[in-house]
Every structure is written in structure tokens, then in C-alpha cells.
């Protein structure tokens, strides 16, 4: 299996405050990897550092190419789609415009049109609301829209920051089901950050546990889920 | 009745200019959250450039197009050189930047072309429009050019990918970067377009107010009034506000005793203040619907 994303000794800073303390992990092509940890452990910062949205040092390689010192908008062009915390919806624009924006770096207009239809097939509720202002969608619908917007890039890697946040449990099940399907059928590698460890471990194949800016545990998602000690001490369930 | 119609039509004609200025102000406000106090001076300078081109023997419409292009480039240059470095600076630093820009442009125009008032040509002539005494051909031309411009802008922002990208960059910059939009250049592009729109306003109003370095002072205040009236967050509101202010100004000058030409400007300022008191977001200022 080839390594798609390789992060080495990543340190990140918010002003003078260091948030990541030499974090290393990798993600295989085609895998669905999850990054677990408590509030403030550095999960979001890790994703933001990959997209150069926070000052960081260390090595980040995507498909063998270094991502350091590239601007956020350039990193997107490598095929990395980031669904940020809070979903990043363009609230004043329509649902369809949000999808078009996801594909704004692509040149193949025919492909974009057919991909929008594909998204409507994945998420029928978006089709019903395609002319509606995106800010009027419910939280769950906005999360669907955010995932669909990310997929419009035809990404090789999708970064998801707390997709379950603020959603009803049933909606979360739905969403995670779709993520699994996207990973298997569309061959999109996924790195998902979650506080809902139980659910994330069911979905993922690989898992890393972060504590105060360092990786403290890694391995097969099933093994971690079955290890009571890890579950109790790090994941809290 | 004829006086009333006449005043409304004349109001629409000058309102078209206010609408352009308001739109230029709103475009920059949307992009960087600051009011461009120098918008009028930039428009004035562009108008001088077009005048200079015509002095050199270039025909009106060629000079018009050339001025648009030059203004667009100059707008981008001003953003890159002066305001991009100020992007993260406090509000007052930006205000100082705008005032500096105002003073620099105003003085340079005076230095290059001096402060004497100059005639500025109109391509439309000033005969009665379609034989009617109500409106002149130049006023009709002002309205016509503005309407064409507004339609063009509407299609640009609604139906082109770059227009979509510009709207996205103005509304949620972080998400815009995450879909691969170079937000910094979108801001520069906004400056270029706003400057070009301002230059159109300047070239259309110059035959009415005559060409001199302070020609846009009053016009910009009406433009601000229009932008505040319509809502600084709404380009559509700015345009409607422009026409309303133009009509209001003329009717007040005609019908309110004692107002006349001298007191028209304070009326615009009074309008700004009343709108801010009663409806701070303006008539069309967007109340953003958001569910969390």
C-alpha cells in the first residue's frame, strides 16, 4: 500500500503558543483514517496545519511532494479537500452555487455538471433545496452540503473536521454511512477528526490518538476499539 | 406636473451617477470592510486622464474605453501597493491610508492639470431627448450607459465563475481559500472593477459639473448617502439608493421652500443620519439568515 499523506515532526503555533509538539503520522492511499482525542488535543490544528492555515514547522508530504510553504488555495489544487469545523458554508449563496464553488478550480464544465447531479443522487435533500439560500439549511443538511462541496473537487484526500458536531445521532449515522460509501466506491482517502470516538472507530480502518499535541497511540481501528484500557484512558467510553 | 416629471427624470439621470459611485464604494466595502473615501478622487483622476487622451486627439469612445482599462489597472495597483500591506492593520490606519490617497490624488491632479475649470465633452449632445423638453440627450445617455453597466455587472456576478469566486471570497474568505480561490487577488480585482466603475461615473458627470480636481466631492457624498440608504452590504441596494437619492435631491431642491441648490448637500447628509438611526442596515442591507 502506498503512503498518500506523510506528516513528520509537525509543530504548530498560534502566536507564541505551541499547539502541536512534534506530531508524526501517515495515511495510506484509499484508507479511512481517524484522528481521535479530547477537546484541545490538537486535532483541528493538525488539519489546519496540513492546509497551511496555521504557522507550522516539520514535514508534510502529499503523494511524495512537500506541502510546506504553499498557500492554502494552492494546496487545494493537489486534490486535498478540507471540510472545516463549522462546515464553512457560503450561507448567503444557494445550495447549487456552494457546489459549483467546490469545483471552482476545475476546468471541465461537463464533468462539473454531471458531478452536481451525482451529489444530488448521494444527497437527495440537496436537490430539493438547490435554489435555496444555504444558510437556511438545517445543521445536518449543511454538513451534507459541506461534504458534497468537498467532493466536487474530485479530491484524492478529504479532511473532515468533526463532521458529527451538533448533529442528531440518526443524522450522524446517515452521514457516516455516506462517508464509508464515498471511501469505498469513489476511492477517496479520508482523514476524519472526531470527538465521537466510538462511531469514528466503527467507520475507520486506521486510528491515531492525540493528546496535548502528540500522538500517543496508533493502530488498526478495530484493535483500538477492542482495547478497553485505551478506550477508558483516552477515549472516555 | 411637467416640472415634477422633469425633476424626477433629471433626478434619475444624476441618480445614475450616484448609483455608480455607491456601487464602487460597496464593492470595496464588501471586499475589505472599509469605506473608500478616495473613490471620488480616483474617479476624478480617471476623468482627467480621459480628457488628456482626448486633448491628444483620441476620439471620445476610444478614450472612454482606454480610460476604463487604465483605471482598472490603477485600481489593482493601488490595492497591491497601498492596501494589501494594510489588510491586517487597525481601522484608523486604513482610514489614514484612504485620506492620504485622497490628498495625493487631489494634489497630483491639481499639479498636472491645474485647478481651473475645464469643459468636458459629451458624446450624446445636449439637445432635447426625442424632441421632449423633459430630459436632454446627455441625461438620457447617462441613464443608458449606467443601465448597460449594471446589467453587465449583474451577469458577471451571477453567471460567470470568476464572479461567483469574487462573491465567495467577499462573503466567507476562509472557505473560499479552502475551495482554491485566491482571495487576495479577488480583492485586487474588486478594486480594479470599482475604480473602472467610478471612472464611468466621472466621465458621465463631468459635462454637468465641469472638470476640475474637486468635481467629485459632492458626488461622492451623495454616493455615500446612496450606499448607506440602500445598505452597504447590498450592491443592489446601493444602486436603488443612488436613484432614490438623485430623485430626492431634485425634488427637495424644487419643492421644499428655502432649500434650493445651496442646501441640497446638507439634505444628503441628513438622509445618511436618518437612515442610520432608523434602519442601520439600510433599506436592502442583508439580514443574513443563519441557522446554527
The pLDDT tens digits of the residues spanning B58-72 come to: 999 999 999 999 999
Residues B166/B157, Cβ–Cβ less than 8 Å: yes
Q: What is the mean pLDDT of chain A?
A: 91
pLDDT band at B291 (very low <50, low <70, confident <90, very high): very low
What would the mean pLDDT of B232-244 be, rounded to a whole number?
91
CB contact under 8 A, A135 and B290: yes
For chain B, the domains span 1-278
Residues of B in contact with A100 (CB under 8 A): 161, 164
- Which grid coordinates belong to B4? 415634477
Domains of chain A, by residue range, sit at: 3-79+155-235, 90-154
- Please give the C-alpha separations between residue A176 and each of A86, A181, A237, in angstroms, as whole numbers: 17, 9, 19
Average pLDDT on A25-48 reads 91
Is the model's pLDDT at A4 over the cut of 80?
A: yes
- List all residues 6 or more positions away from A174 whose beta carbon is below 8 Å from its beta carbon: A140
- Specify the pTM: 0.88
Least confident of A6-10, A110-114, B262-266: B262-266
With beta carbons under 8 A apart, name residues in chain A contacting B286.
92
Which strands make up the sheet holding A55-62, listed edge to edge?
A: A17-28, A3-14, A55-62, A65-66
Q: Which fold has domain A3-79+155-235?
A: Rossmann fold (3.40.50)
Confidence (pLDDT) at A96: 95
CATH topology of domain B1-278: ABC transporter involved in vitamin B12 uptake, BtuC (1.10.3470)
Q: Determine the distance in angstroms separating the CA of B168 from the nearest CA of chain A, rounded to an integer.
A: 7
Instruction: Determine the pLDDT at residue A165.
Output: 87
At residue A208, the pLDDT reads: 93
Query: Which chain B residues are within 8 Å of A105, Cβ to Cβ?
Result: 179-180
Q: What's the confidence (pLDDT) of residue B292?
A: 45
pLDDT at B290: 46
Percent of chain A with pLDDT over 90: 67
What's residue A198's pLDDT? Answer: 87
Q: Does residue B127 or residue A56 have the better pLDDT?
A: A56
Q: What is the ipTM of this complex?
A: 0.91
Question: What is the average pLDDT across A196-225?
Answer: 89
Give pLDDT, residue B286: 64
Which whole number is the average pLDDT over A189-199? Answer: 91
Q: How far is CA A195 from the centre of its chain?
A: 13
Whole-number Å distance between alpha carbons of B146 and B209: 18
Q: Strand, coil or helix: what is B88?
A: coil
Judged against a pLDDT cut of 70, whether residue B179 lies above it is answered with yes
Minimal C-alpha gap between A212 and chain B (Å) = 26
Select the residue of A133, A138, A149 nearest B289 (Cβ to Cβ): A133
Q: How confident is the model at residue B287 (pLDDT cuts 50, 70, 90)?
A: low
Amino acid at each position: 500500500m502506498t503512503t498518500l499523506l506523510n506528516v513528520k515532526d509537525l509543530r504548530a503555533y498560534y502566536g507564541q503558543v505551541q499547539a502541536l509538539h512534534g506530531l508524526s503520522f501517515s495515511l495510506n492511499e484509499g484508507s479511512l483514517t481517524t484522528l481521535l482525542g479530547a477537546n484541545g488535543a490538537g486535532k483541528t490544528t493538525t488539519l489546519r496545519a496540513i492546509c497551511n492555515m496555521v504557522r507550522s514547522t516539520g514535514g508534510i508530504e502529499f503523494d511524495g511532494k512537500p506541502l510546506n510553504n504553499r498557500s492554502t488555495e494552492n494546496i487545494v489544487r493537489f486534490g486535498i479537500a478540507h471540510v472545516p469545523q463549522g462546515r464553512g458554508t457560503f450561507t448567503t449563496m444557494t445550495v447549487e452555487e456552494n457546489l459549483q464553488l467546490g469545483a471552482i478550480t476545475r476546468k471541465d464544465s461537463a464533468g462539473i455538471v454531471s458531478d452536481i447531479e451525482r451529489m444530488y443522487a448521494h444527497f437527495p435533500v440537496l436537490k430539493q433545496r438547490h435554489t435555496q439560500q444555504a444558510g437556511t439549511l438545517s445543521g445536518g443538511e449543511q454538513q451534507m452540503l459541506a461534504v458534497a462541496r468537498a467532493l466536487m473537487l474530485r479530491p484524492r484526500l478529504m479532511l473532515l473536521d468533526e463532521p458529527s458536531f451538533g448533529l442528531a445521532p440518526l443524522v450522524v449515522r446517515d452521514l457516516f454511512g455516506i462517508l464509508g460509501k464515498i471511501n469505498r466506491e469513489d476511492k477517496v482517502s479520508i482523514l476524519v477528526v472526531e470527538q465521537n470516538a466510538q462511531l469514528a472507530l466503527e467507520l475507520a480502518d486506521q486510528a491515531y490518538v492525540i493528546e496535548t499535541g502528540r500522538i500517543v497511540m496508533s493502530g488498526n481501528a478495530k484493535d483500538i476499539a477492542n482495547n478497553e484500557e485505551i478506550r477508558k484512558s483516552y477515549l472516555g467510553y | 406636473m411637467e416640472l415634477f416629471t422633469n425633476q424626477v427624470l433629471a433626478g434619475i439621470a444624476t441618480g445614475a451617477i450616484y448609483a455608480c459611485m455607491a456601487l464602487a464604494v460597496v464593492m470595496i466595502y464588501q471586499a475589505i470592510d472599509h469605506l473608500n473615501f478616495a473613490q471620488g478622487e480616483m474617479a476624478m483622476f480617471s476623468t482627467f486622464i480621459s480628457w488628456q487622451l482626448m486633448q491628444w486627439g483620441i476620439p471620445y469612445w476610444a478614450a472612454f474605453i482606454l480610460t476604463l482599462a487604465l483605471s482598472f489597472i490603477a485600481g489593482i495597483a493601488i490595492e497591491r501597493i497601498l492596501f494589501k500591506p494594510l489588510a491586517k492593520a487597525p481601522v484608523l490606519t486604513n482610514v489614514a491610508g484612504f485620506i492620504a490617497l485622497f490628498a495625493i490624488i487631489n494634489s497630483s491632479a491639481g499639479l498636472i492639470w491645474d485647478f481651473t475649470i475645464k469643459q468636458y465633452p459629451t458624446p450624446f449632445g445636449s439637445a432635447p431627448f426625442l424632441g421632449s423638453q423633459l430630459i436632454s440627450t446627455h441625461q438620457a445617455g447617462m441613464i443608458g450607459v449606467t443601465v448597460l453597466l449594471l446589467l453587465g455587472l449583474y451577469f458577471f456576478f451571477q453567471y460567470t465563475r470568476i464572479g461567483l469566486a469574487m462573491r465567495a471570497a467577499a462573503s466567507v474568505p476562509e472557505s473560499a481559500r479552502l475551495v482554491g480561490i485566491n482571495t487576495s487577488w479577488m480583492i485586487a480585482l474588486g478594486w480594479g472593477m470599482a475604480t473602472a466603475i467610478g471612472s464611468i461615473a466621472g466621465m458621465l458627470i463631468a459635462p454637468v459639473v465641469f472638470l476640475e480636481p474637486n468635481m467629485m466631492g459632492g458626488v461622492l457624498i451623495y454616493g455615500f448617502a446612496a450606499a448607506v440608504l440602500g445598505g452597504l452590504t447590498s450592491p443592489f441596494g446601493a444602486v436603488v439608493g443612488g436613484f432614490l437619492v438623485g430623485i430626492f435631491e431634485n425634488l427637495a431642491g424644487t419643492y421644499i421652500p428655502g432649500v434650493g441648490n445651496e442646501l441640497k448637500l446638507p439634505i444628503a447628509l441628513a438622509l445618511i443620519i436618518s437612515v442610520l438611526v432608523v434602519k442601520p442596515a439600510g433599506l436592502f442591507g442583508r439580514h443574513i439568515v443563519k441557522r446554527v
